[in-house]
Chain A
Amino acid sequence: MPLIVNGMPPLHWAVAGGGIACITLILLYVGNRRLGISTGFEDVCSLVLPQAYFQRGVVRRGRAWRLPFLLGLLVGGFVSGALDGSWAVTWDLGMFDTVIGFGPAGKLAWMFVGGLFIGFGTRLAGGCTSGHGIFGMSNFELPSLVTTLSFMAAGVVTTQLLYRVVFA
């Protein structure tokens, strides 16, 4: 199955998994940082929201590395799309377009609602695929196992409902 971004086949899973492990380990070995991306949402909130929750030491201390890391994710996506000279703004959403088929306004609403679940859920759970799924699981942390099983199960149920029941 080709990637939406450039129509090419993806990297081999073992290469991608190995690369992700490398960056996770270098982040710890060089920067003494525990990989975790969803707290970055709080970092961004902390720039504008005065509530005590966002002005905690653990949030403010992490901003200096997490905000640049988040910026890097944007850059990495851009480089990936631009490397073969084909970067373009796109609405292409793969099988969503063929099966669910909402237009631009519907997609934006759908994505905003999905984003709400992601932002609220990851902060309530204390992490996402990176902090719990990769780092926490690798470090044999029970909260990470519990969270990872919860989000994987909910993802399976939701996609199965959407693609095999609701929009089938």
Chain B
Amino acid sequence: MTLVYVVFGAAFGFLLSRSGAADYNYIQMMFLFEDLQLYGIIGTAVVLTSVGLWAIKRRGRTAGGEPIGIELKPLHRGNVVGGVLFGVGWSMAGMCPGPILVNIGEGKIYAVAALAGALAGAGVFGVLYHQLQGFFHLPPLGVGTGEG
């Protein structure tokens, strides 16, 4: 199954690479409202995924017959503050988490620094979780802020 996930990831990464979603210029043009390519991609993906989710949830089982289990993300103050911080980073680097890895694969050497920063940022967050928990009303440690 491990190899299957590598293949899924590779297909996903290829699409991000060839669509502009992992391209610095397209990210900036999206935020400048000068090119609608990425809005079209996100909009199409959300509409089609919601239709597919409806169908899969209606069936209720995976292809292998396992019950579908979707872990819902909790609502907390971190959604807004974390979202804003992430938005600043996405604009600066011109990459969101998936495209950081895609860019490294493409040979864009500076993306290695973005990955180092992202790992450090996630590391600092995890180490400080208890200190941040009260202020941001974050869920108990076992639950976390939401996976994904």
Listed in ascending order, the chain A residues whose CB lies under 8 Å from chain B are: 1, 3-5, 10-11, 13-32, 34-42, 44-45, 49, 51-54, 56-59, 62, 64-66, 68-81, 87-96, 104, 107-144, 146-160, 162-164
1/0 contact string of B75-87 vs chain A (CB within 8 Å): 1101111111111
Contacts A24-B49, A151-B84: A119 and B117 contacting too (C-beta < 8 A)? yes
In whole angstroms, what is the CA distance A15 to B48 when docked?
11
For residue B54, give the distance in angstroms from its CB to the closest CB of chain A: 9
1/0 contact string of B1-23 vs chain A (CB within 8 Å): 11111111111111111111111
Q: Is the CB of A118 within 8 A of B126?
A: no
Listed in ascending order, the chain B residues whose CB lies under 8 Å from chain A are: 1-33, 35-38, 40-50, 52-53, 56, 62-64, 66, 68-76, 78-98, 100-111, 113-127, 129, 132, 136, 141-148
Q: Is the CB of A16 within 8 A of B15?
A: yes
> Which chain A residues border B50 with CB–CB below 8 Å?
137-140
Q: Is the CB of A23 within 8 A of B120?
A: no
Q: Is the CB of B114 within 8 A of A118?
A: yes
For residue A146, give the distance in angstroms from its CB to the closest CB of chain B: 5
Q: Is the CB of B148 within 8 A of A118?
A: no
Residue contacts A-B, CB under 8 angstroms, 20 given: A5-B23, A11-B18, A17-B44, A20-B15, A20-B49, A29-B63, A35-B148, A77-B17, A111-B110, A114-B117, A115-B117, A117-B89, A118-B100, A126-B79, A126-B82, A133-B46, A143-B79, A153-B87, A156-B31, A159-B27
Q: Is the CB of A123 within 8 A of B121?
A: yes
Q: Is the CB of B45 within 8 A of A24?
A: yes
In whole angstroms, what is the CA distance A151 to B120 when docked?
20
Q: Is the CB of A45 within 8 A of B56?
A: no
Contacts A28-B53, A118-B114, A138-B53: A125 and B145 contacting too (C-beta < 8 A)? yes
